[in-house]
Amino acid sequence: MNKTELIEHIATKSDISKAAATRALASIIEAVKKTLKKGDTVTLVGFGTFSVTKRAARVGRNPRTGTALKIKAAKVPRFKPGKGLKDALN
- pLDDT score recorded for residue 77: 96
Residue (of 57, 46, 53) closest to 89 by Cα position: 46
- pLDDT score recorded for residue 38: 95
- pLDDT score recorded for residue 61: 94
- pLDDT score recorded for residue 19: 96
Q: Which of the residues in the chain have pLDDT under 70? A: none
- pLDDT score recorded for residue 16: 95
